[in-house]
Amino acid sequence: MAIIPIFIPHAGCPHQCVFCNQKTISGQKTAAVEGAKEQIKKWLEWVKPSLENEAAFYGGSFTGLDIALQKELLALTDELLERKVIGSVRLSTRPDYIYGERLELLRAHGVKLVELGVQSLDDKVLEAAERGHTVEQVVEAVALLKEYGFKVGVQLMVGMPKQDFASVKDTVEKVLALKPDIARIYPLLVIKGTPLAKSYAAGEFEPLTLEEAIRQSAYVYKKLFKAGVKIIRVGLHPDDELCAEGNILAGPFHPSMGELVQSYLLREELTPKILEVAKQNGEAVLILCPRNLESKLRGMRNGNLKYWSLLVAPKKLIINGTSVSKIKIICVSSNDLEEAATQD
Ligand code: SF4
């Protein structure tokens, strides 16, 4: 399955949320049909036709676009649908731009999933971020999307102005009640050229540390994941423009935020088991895991390894990626260590 992303930065969005410099986030400066055509052309060079493929309009607020422009853009994806290059279309928009008439249009053009920029379900936080919509509008938008048969995605943030961890937790409970299909989690960054950059410079806003952003994102991830919501992204996509020198002024940026969050969750999940195993006889605690999990288990700069090593000291702690299909934690004697660690 491939996704053909089509960025329409700031188009259809008359707002200026304090954290947003959409042109930078999406890495695309123009919002015209010609721009969309160019992007599609580029992707078609390598995408293999499949009904599993999706075209995705990102950035801006699609349903806020002039209706003629929406139709022009959807005509481009109609062509891909007709040629069976893709099987469906998804797009993102604001919760206050969801109306029945516009949803009819989307439904008629193969749109199956609509992602809403929700960010928070705390009115005080929405107001501080100058989002220009309320919690109630989000709830109504999700209900209407479901009524029209769309799958629903929610984009959530941690680290917003006036948003503490309690507010994040409360938002998660409200999101669970909305039963979205997918979610993205973005720790807030201070981007050059945004109103937030001014607040930051004036000492009026302090972003989360990377550690705190991981902790809060992990909480959101775990709760939503357990409820069956598919988490499709954690952290902004580290494209060249976002990562250009001097563009991110402050905040918890990491190009592999999703991996850091998963490492954190593995630490939370495995610590009780490691402590239990460490009580057994033997000189080392050995964690055998599938090879593709080894770096997540070790954590950023071996953070999990160091953390667990301190917990089980004076025993040694070893993490080994092997051909096992799931994580196995055992206590071994020094004599058996070499053989056990190379177990395949
Ligand atoms: S609504 Fe979305 S595109 Fe518009 S300013 Fe806010 S974050 Fe940016």
What atom in ligand 1 is closest to the CA of residue 60? 3
On whether both 250 and 319 belong to a single domain, the answer is no
- Output the CA 117–ligand 1 centroid distance in Å: 8
State yes or no: cis peptide before 95, omega within 30 of 0: no
Domain encompassing residue 71: 3-255
Per-residue pLDDT reduced to its tens digit, 328-340: 999 998 777 777 7
In a domain, 264, yes or no: no
Task: Tokens 């599609």: give the residue.
Answer: 40
In a domain, 265, yes or no: no
Whether the pLDDT of residue 262 is over 50: the answer is yes
Whether the pLDDT of residue 343 is over 70: the answer is no
Q: Final residue of a domain: which of 255, 287, 312? A: 255
CA distance 130 to 318: 49
In a domain, 95, yes or no: yes
- Output the CA 64–ligand 1 centroid distance in Å: 11
Give 81's DSSP letter. H
- Output the CA 54–ligand 1 centroid distance in Å: 23
On whether both 175 and 27 belong to a single domain, the answer is yes
What atom in ligand 1 is closest to the CA of residue 119? 7
- Output the CA 98–ligand 1 centroid distance in Å: 15
CA-proximal residue: ligand 1, atom 7 (nearest): 20
On whether both 157 and 44 belong to a single domain, the answer is yes
On whether both 10 and 98 belong to a single domain, the answer is yes
On whether both 58 and 162 belong to a single domain, the answer is yes
- Output the CA 333–ligand 1 centroid distance in Å: 58
Q: Final residue of a domain: which of 230, 255, 280? A: 255
Determine the residue of 7, 16, 22, 114 to mutate for testing ligand 1's pocket, defined as the one with the most ligand atoms within 8 A of the Cβ atom.
22
On whether both 25 and 169 belong to a single domain, the answer is yes
Per-residue pLDDT reduced to its tens digit, 274-311: 999 999 999 999 999 999 999 999 998 999 999 999 99
- At 103, is the pLDDT very low, low, confident or very high (cuts 50, 70, 90)? very high
Q: Final residue of a domain: which of 255, 282, 299? A: 255
With vertex at residue 154, the alpha carbon angle to CA 233 and CA 16, rounded to the nearest 5 degrees, is: 95
Write out the H or E segment, with its range, that includes residue 135: helix 135-147
What atom in ligand 1 is closest to the CA of residue 10? 3
In a domain, 262, yes or no: no
On whether both 131 and 168 belong to a single domain, the answer is yes
Tokens of 247: 């563009």
Looking at residues 2-31, what average pLDDT do you find?
73
- Output the CA 59–ligand 1 centroid distance in Å: 8
- Output the CA 327–ligand 1 centroid distance in Å: 41
What atom in ligand 1 is closest to the CA of residue 94? 1
CA-proximal residue: ligand 1, atom 2 (nearest): 60
Enumerate helices (H) and strands (E) in the chain, giving the number of each. Answer: 13, 12
Half-sphere exposure of 299 (CA within 13 A, CB side): 18
Per-residue pLDDT reduced to its tens digit, 224-237: 999 999 999 999 98
Domain total of the chain: 2
What atom in ligand 1 is closest to the CA of residue 117? 2
CA-proximal residue: ligand 1, atom 6 (nearest): 17
In a domain, 311, yes or no: yes
**pLDDT of 29:** 45
- At 314, is the pLDDT very low, low, confident or very high (cuts 50, 70, 90)? very high
What's at 268, amino acid-wise? E
Whether the pLDDT of residue 65 is over 90: the answer is no
* % of the chain residues with pLDDT over 70: 94
* % of the chain residues with pLDDT over 90: 81
Looking at residues 91-109, what average pLDDT do you find?
94
Q: Are 53 and 85 in contact (CB under 8 A)?
A: yes
In a domain, 332, yes or no: yes
Per-residue pLDDT reduced to its tens digit, 134-149: 999 999 999 999 999 9
Task: Tokens 């969801």: give the residue.
Answer: 98
CA-proximal residue: ligand 1, atom 3 (nearest): 60
On whether both 51 and 138 belong to a single domain, the answer is yes
- Residues 6 or more apart whose CB falls under 8 angstroms from that of 338 comprise none
More confident residue, 190 or 10: 190
Looking at residues 81-95, what average pLDDT do you find?
96
On whether both 277 and 161 belong to a single domain, the answer is no
On whether both 277 and 233 belong to a single domain, the answer is no
**Residues within 6 Å of ligand 1 by CB:** 10, 13, 15-17, 20, 22, 60-61, 94, 117
Determine the residue of 8, 10, 13, 127 to mutate for testing ligand 1's pocket, defined as the one with the most ligand atoms within 8 A of the Cβ atom.
13
What atom in ligand 1 is closest to the CA of residue 61? 3
144 CB neighbour count, 10 Å cutoff:
17
- At 315, is the pLDDT very low, low, confident or very high (cuts 50, 70, 90)? very high
CATH number of the domain encompassing residue 87: 3.20.20.70
Determine the residue of 10, 15, 155, 196 to mutate for testing ligand 1's pocket, defined as the one with the most ligand atoms within 8 A of the Cβ atom.
15
On whether both 157 and 213 belong to a single domain, the answer is yes
Give 244's DSSP letter. S
In a domain, 261, yes or no: no
On whether both 124 and 198 belong to a single domain, the answer is yes
- Output the CA 94–ligand 1 centroid distance in Å: 8
In a domain, 82, yes or no: yes
CA-proximal residue: ligand 1, atom 8 (nearest): 20
CATH number of the domain encompassing residue 300: 3.40.1260.20
